[in-house]
Structure 1
Amino acid sequence: MKASPVIRGGQSAADAALDSFDVTGYAAKRNQVLPDSDRGASRLSPYIRHGLLPLREVWSTVAGPPSDVAKFRDELLWQEYARHLYARVGMDLHHNLRFDVVWSGEFAPAALPREMTCVDWVVSSLETDGWLVNQTRMWFASHYTVRSGKGWPAGQEYFHRHLLDGSRAANLLGWQWTVGAGTGKPYGFARWQVEKRAPQLCAVCPLNRACPIENFPPQLDPRPVSNPSPRLVRDYDIATTQGPTTVVERSTPQSVLLTVESLGDADPAMLAHPLLPVVFIFDEPALKKLQLSSKRLIFFVETLQDLAARREVIVHLGDPRQITPGLRAAITWAPVPSFEKYAGTTVELHPWPWLTQPHAGSVTSFSAWRRNIARPK
């Protein structure tokens, strides 16, 4: 098993990453790929995804040139939008939301020709580091689907297996956007994007003089899906989407149970019970199904090791449905369908720390959702 050579798990690593992040130049350089020294991406996403850096904290901490702060906060809002969307539509996010594109089929490595240096570099970075800048995620998704005609759910599953920040909410939304299932406008990938963001790759590519992506792929015009989820336009059960707004107390807790959605010191249930032991369950049935990379598993282990320096930590391997009832645990509600395996057998439920509360209006697009949110302070 190998850890990521570029990102370490744990609250201490998360805090250090946030302290050292300089937002200056972010707006201009966030999509730069190579060289590493020119990148503006923060690499905070794995810590944000697992609750080590809550969105509220990152939002309030970042400071610098107004244009860079505004762009960075836009990306934080995108993360929040993904969470709101997933909390509302749930498993529907695994299917084409608004426009019909190819989505079935098993993962096809042959659709990623490794003789192309740009493709080889992206695949190698993903499998070795467990992290990619957003630009290269779009390159990969576009080449695999829009150009090669393969189904996007299999592609996103491959991402989910390797990305340290792999979340169903952000990952599924990103693929939907890139392939055009959410917007009707697929993102095209062509040589000029590589030459602009990572010219070194084209310079050494053996296909430099016969580039298979010299031009954009044929333009696609996806048709609207026949029965889009009505919940995209209106949420008639906003209470379920947003989760509890106050602490739900059933009896006195004897432990605090953490999930992969909320592993940080700021977890509301953990903050409420500073003296109780902390429990984490490696979900054995889920792990067998997902086949997560060793990098992701080691990230969790590093995070728990770091936490054990401050709290008593107990780790289980098994089925949460069988283990949770005996824990008498306090837990923080999470806006994901899989939380149901914990919800009914914990004794105290804490609200999720939203950056901005979900609303009942349209979530058909980021801009539609954004028009109705309360701007974070």
Structure 2
Amino acid sequence: MTRLPTPPSLAAGADPADVVRWVAEHLGDLALEDPSDVTAGAIRGGQSAADSALALLDVTGYARDRSTVLPRARRGASRMSPYIRHGLVSLREVWDAVADAPARDRGKYRDELLWQEFARHLYARVGTTLGSTLVREQPRPPRRPSDVWADDPWPAAMRCMDETVTELHDDGWLVNQTRMWLASQWAVRAGADWRDGEDRMFSHLLDGSRAANRLGWQWTVGTGGGKVYGFSRWQVRKRAPALCRDCALNSACPVEDWPDADAGPRVDGPDLGSGSVPAGPAEVDGESAEQVWLTAESLGEQDPALAANDTRPAVFVFDEPLLRRLRLSGKRLVFLAETLGELGDTREVEVRRGTVTDELAGRSLAVTHAPVPGFARRAAALAPVEVHPWPWLVRPGTESVRSFSAWRRSHRGPRASSA
């Protein structure tokens, strides 16, 4: 049973290096890197950073520029995803924030928010099965010793791979275009198991979400439907032409042509047709808990359980067995620590390290429902006395999660589109 000091608060004037040192000292043995190599990512954690990003959100030109990779100054991606993933802003808040954007840009951006919501619905429905092939086996191209990726599916000799992997490792964030490049190169080109690549990417992403990341990989490599995204030089020349110009393999590009990758055979996966999607309570269930249990899905000041009583202390547990297994990059731990440190400015925040159910056993807990399987297991063991609804953009019902396109058509009416 280990209680940690509350992390330093950047909002209260702490140096960012102080938070890095806090993580290295208290969580460094659980990180992917050596404790001395822990660094912050490119996106700062904390409610004030999230609020500032939301206030400055401008998606004008998003439809045109959302897939731009280089130059970075022309990227249209909003970089809101780490804040959305950890509940510092809700999908509804972001949806409403772009209400006055140009119609085409607003529509494209809101489609991406709906994709995030669909991923949550799917994950709530199938749980950890999302880590297994859903519909078809992945393509298995022949692997030859002469391939530039024979020793590493993301070969550094390819400038497009080297630049993208470096950005993933240094920043902890990528535009969607390069996420697809990495997934397709790993599984469709190199024939490596998509689950291993998804794990490697997940460990670095500040917005790392099993729901969104696994669905993105399955969609890209064809295991979630059947259409395979074929990575080739064409995408690089269109989205980041400087990478091709500066590549040592410019005159012998190994991805010059489209990959020969047909959809794999069908598998007997989970039922994705019409069925109940677990959504949690629609209204507050219970009352008068003494302490708020914070989860990594809901760390914002507007977390429903927090907002219900602004004087209740809160508790967050760094799940030691889980972190030891996942080996997340220290960047992700720094983002969480920055968020907890700032939250500690407004109320008492108890930070612990250990097994969640052991650290919180016997407490009178209020919590916001989270649509992830880990929450369901821990909540069953802890029996919180006050459970608040998850802030869905589109509350699930009995529906199919087989196709995002079909799901989106059914959810573009008043429930999702009001602003």
TM-score tier after normalising by the smaller chain length:
over 0.9
Residue in structure 2 matched with residue 332 of structure 1 by the alignment: 368
Residue in structure 2 matched with residue 173 of structure 1 by the alignment: 215
How far did residue 102 of structure 1 move? 5.8
Does residue 69 (structure 1) correspond to residue 106 (structure 2)? The answer is: yes
Taking structure 1 as reference, are residues 207 and 364 closer, same or farther at Cα in structure 2, changes over 3 Å only? Answer: same
Q: Structure 1 counterpart of 2:403, which letter?
A: S
Identify the match of residue 348 of structure 1 among 377, 380, 386.
386
What do residues 158-211 of structure 1 show as CA deviations (whole Å, max 9, x unaligned)? 111000000000000000000001120110011111011011111111111111
Identify the match of residue 329 of structure 2 among 274, 279, 293.
293
Give 3-state SS (helix, strand or coil) of 2:230's partner.
Answer: coil
Q: Structure 2 counterpart of 1:83, which letter?
A: R
Identify the match of residue 403 of structure 2 among 365, 368, 371.
365
Q: What CA distance in whole angstroms lies between the structure 1 residues aligned with 2:114 and 2:343?
A: 28
Q: What CA distance in whole angstroms lies between the structure 1 residues aligned with 2:194 and 2:356?
A: 30
Q: Structure 2 counterpart of 1:353, which letter?
A: P
How far did residue 109 of structure 1 move? 6.5
Residue in structure 1 matched with residue 130 of structure 2 by the alignment: 93
How far did residue 215 of structure 1 move? 0.7
Give 3-state SS (helix, strand or coil) of 1:275's partner.
Answer: coil
Count of equivalent residues: 367
Contact 1:87 1:242 survives alignment (8 Å):
yes
The percent of aligned pairs where both chains have the same amino acid is 53
Taking structure 1 as reference, are residues 293 and 109 closer, same or farther at Cα in structure 2, changes over 3 Å only? Answer: farther
Residue in structure 1 matched with residue 205 of structure 2 by the alignment: 163
Q: What CA distance in whole angstroms lies between the structure 2 residues aligned with 1:9 and 1:262?
A: 13
Q: What CA distance in whole angstroms lies between the structure 2 residues aligned with 1:2 and 1:22?
A: 32
Q: Structure 2 counterpart of 1:282, which letter?
A: F
Map 1:226-305 → 2, pairs under 5 A: 227-230=268-271, 232-235=272-275, 237-238=276-277, 241-249=278-286, 252-305=288-341
Q: Structure 2 counterpart of 1:352, which letter?
A: W
What do residues 332-357 of structure 1 show as CA deviations (whole Å, max 9, x unaligned)? 01000000243132221111010011
Q: Structure 1 counterpart of 2:274, which letter?
A: R
Q: What CA distance in whole angstroms lies between the structure 2 residues aligned with 1:263 and 1:3?
A: 21
Give 3-state SS (helix, strand or coil) of 1:305's partner.
Answer: helix
Residue in structure 2 matched with residue 126 of structure 1 by the alignment: 168
What do residues 72-98 of structure 1 show as CA deviations (whole Å, max 9, x unaligned)? 101000000000000011111111111
Residue in structure 1 matched with residue 416 of structure 2 by the alignment: 375
Residue in structure 2 matched with residue 217 of structure 1 by the alignment: 259
Contact 2:204 2:332 survives alignment (8 Å):
yes
Q: What CA distance in whole angstroms lies between the structure 2 residues aligned with 1:16 and 1:111?
A: 38
Q: What CA distance in whole angstroms lies between the structure 2 residues aligned with 1:333 and 1:157?
A: 25
Does residue 206 (structure 1) correspond to residue 243 (structure 2)? The answer is: no
Identify the match of residue 59 of structure 2 among 19, 23, 26.
23
Contact 1:102 1:150 survives alignment (8 Å):
no
Q: What CA distance in whole angstroms lies between the structure 2 residues aligned with 1:109 and 1:258?
A: 42
Residue in structure 1 matched with residue 229 of structure 2 by the alignment: 187
How far did residue 246 of structure 1 move? 1.4
Q: Structure 2 counterpart of 1:79, which letter?
A: Q
Q: Structure 2 counterpart of 1:68, which letter?
A: D
How far did residue 329 of structure 1 move? 1.3
Contact 2:139 2:262 survives alignment (8 Å):
no
What do residues 202-227 of structure 1 show as CA deviations (whole Å, max 9, x unaligned)? 111111111111111113132221x2
**What RMSD in Å do the two structures reach over aligned CA positions?**
1.5
Contact 2:57 2:97 survives alignment (8 Å):
no
Contact 2:138 2:263 survives alignment (8 Å):
no
Q: What CA distance in whole angstroms lies between the structure 1 residues aligned with 2:270 and 2:391?
A: 26
Residue in structure 2 matched with residue 319 of structure 1 by the alignment: 355
What do residues 270-319 of structure 1 show as CA deviations (whole Å, max 9, x unaligned)? 01121001111000010000000000000000001111121211100010
Residue in structure 2 matched with residue 82 of structure 1 by the alignment: 119
Provide structure 1 residue ranges, at least 5 long, that are not aligned to the other structure.
none
Contact 1:324 1:342 survives alignment (8 Å):
no
Q: What CA distance in whole angstroms lies between the structure 2 residues aligned with 1:342 and 1:57?
A: 28
Taking structure 1 as reference, are residues 313 and 69 closer, same or farther at Cα in structure 2, changes over 3 Å only? Answer: same
Does residue 113 (structure 1) correspond to residue 151 (structure 2)? The answer is: no
Provide structure 2 residue ranges, at least 5 long, that are not aligned to the other structure.
1-36, 141-149
Q: Structure 2 counterpart of 1:233, which letter?
A: G
| Larger RCO (CA under 8 A, 6+ residues apart) | 2
Contact 2:119 2:215 survives alignment (8 Å):
yes
State TM-score, norm by structure 1: 0.94
How far did residue 5 of structure 1 move? 4.4
How far did residue 228 of structure 1 move? 2.7
Q: What CA distance in whole angstroms lies between the structure 2 residues aligned with 1:113 and 1:25?
A: 33
Contact 1:356 1:376 survives alignment (8 Å):
no
What do residues 116-168 of structure 1 show as CA deviations (whole Å, max 9, x unaligned)? 11100011000110000000000000000001001101111111100000000
How far did residue 245 of structure 1 move? 1.1
